[in-house]
Chains A and B, each alone.
Chain A
């Protein structure tokens, strides 16, 4: 009993001491957090309100050779694990999560008209991501109208997964 009490006391001393250390470091570090948040954390960003729509293109109207394009797969991760457009690059995208600025910079560096976004049908993620990229300064970004289902239906090349 006495032994358990000692262990319990030691655990409390360790935790309380460490917490006090954390408070001390936070007080001393530049830009430390206020002890109580002044306003609620922005858990989600606002759903993108696009002022610059990207260009929609139907899969049938796409040029036959897409070699010079980067195909961005903007579907949810579960769908990306299945069949996907040949040579596409998966991007973890959700309209309520902020875009990674490094990814945007990387895409912008490709130059104008080099990105084609393929999303899913339910979330309309292709249109939203392409719009967000256009907002972020990417020029000539296009998205496939109807997303991946339309891509498949038009007989565009697909790889991976079990259909």
Chain B
């Protein structure tokens, strides 16, 4: 690919990764503030064994916030995009299993299970678009418009 086209692809990836980073940071806030409510949301999906629910409720929000900040700032950009894509795949699998079982409950993505929007095909579509966005950043963003680029320029003699 010629350098000009590559620069354009990287440029277009910038708003995508800032948006995705903000989404992940935003999504982590209620989960960090109230891990019990998030644990309840995870348990409602009926996918994980009980022994892993709390561990997931404790760790996942911090992965979301760290990866979200790194993605938005362009630090280890491709690695952050890969982590986001991995999480999106995990969310979509959980969502798909819940929908297949015809379970009806709130997504628990941005608010507790009692307050959030109900899961459905629209949730799956939204997650699919975010996954596509993360994959685009993974492929197209070479880190030139972020901390990766800044650090690389500083390292150069």
Contacts and interface: CB of A to CB of B under 8 A. Distances in A.
Contacts of B67: 14-15, 18
A11 B70 CA distance: 11
Interface residues of A, number: 29
A22 B63 contact: yes
A26 B79 CA distance: 25
Given A18-B66, A41-B43, A11 B54 contact: no
Interface in B86-108: 86, 105
Interface of B is mostly: helix
Interface of A: 7-11, 13-15, 17-19, 21-23, 25-26, 32-37, 40-43, 97-98, 100
Nearest to B58: A26
B72 interface: no
Given A15-B67, A22-B63, A40-B50, A33 B82 contact: no
Contact of A17 (B35, B51, B54, B66): B66
B18 interface: no
Contact of B83 (A15, A25, A34): A15
Contacts of B78: 7, 10
Interface in B11-38: 32, 35-36
B43 A43 contact: yes
A122 to B, nearest CB: 15
